[in-house]
Chain A
């Protein structure tokens, strides 16, 4: 019984991140975990991202590799791409966004339900890349709020997985008051 209790304790401490006294759990023989609701919900959210891969360009090749069998997104819970914004919560903007494509990106972002996160995959999404010209948006953060920036042209799959882990850490620290955030703050020029 002592071993079981310590294992439960370890699990609970992992989830909440701080040590607490064992009172009620010991009384209930380790069949109950107590934590804050925020922490539990964040834990569920971060290990079950439903991606919307907004793939446009060359980074899409690395996205296929990341989703492939060698560098596996499924290990991190983010396996299932949902090709509808209504059903997904992680918008991965993969590749260059041109001015013609920009309204579509904003529309897709607005159609997603909160909570939602945006992952800028590749340096063209982060800042326009080396396409500093008349037709490329210089970074999608001029259009929608971005949570994680992964530069690279294209980024190696390990970098993408690192970005995903950082996003998971970010989600872990969220509070209820962060949501809802509202529509993307853009204007039609």
Chain B
């Protein structure tokens, strides 16, 4: 992947959505674009359908919690284009005060379970998701464990010894 090829995605993205893209970088060869969360569905549709880009694989969807910074959360999408053999990372900024973001299930079906896991672990609500409930923890679990302010050793057993 030459340098020319690597920045095609970022160039086209900043041309098409100039006000949504907050920043881009290419740390260690990974194309990354930081976007605002409002137009995330349009951005994803553009990335999937544009003939130069064709990001048809949604590899990963996760959330990073930057405690102490505003916006606190970043929803990170890792995409891969099978025809062009390229990767890109999209980071959408989500503040703690408005912890919602559009769901991209209609763009890639793979996002279904990844978004459920992000909701389970961080509490980010994906609007438009057909079935947003906990996936890795039991239904009555209180709290969202991967947030930085959740203690590691807090116990929430469903069932325990009598004494």
Contact = CB atoms under 8 A, between A and B. Distances in A.
Determine direct contact between A and B, CB below 8 Å.
yes
B4 interface: no
Contacts of A64: none
A137 B138 CA distance: 14
A134 B152 contact: yes
B99 to A, nearest CB: 21
Contact of A103 (B137, B156, B159, B161): B159
B71 interface: no
Interface in B141-163: 145, 150-162
A103 B155 CA distance: 15
Nearest to B154: A134
Interface string A131-147: 01111010000110000
Contacts of A99: 138, 155-159
A106 interface: yes
Interface residues of A, number: 17
B152 A137 contact: no
A133 B146 CA distance: 11
26 contacts: A99-B156, A100-B137, A100-B138, A100-B158, A102-B159, A103-B159, A132-B153, A133-B152, A133-B153, A134-B145, A134-B150, A134-B151, A134-B152, A134-B155, A135-B137, A135-B145, A142-B161, A185-B161, A185-B162, A186-B159, A186-B161, A187-B160, A189-B157, A189-B158, A189-B159, A189-B160
A187 B162 contact: yes
A90 B161 CA distance: 22
Interface of B: 137-138, 145, 150-162
Interface in A78-129: 99-100, 102-103, 106
Nearest to B150: A134
B156 A188 contact: no
Contacts of A142: 160-161
A144 to B, nearest CB: 10
A103 B158 contact: yes
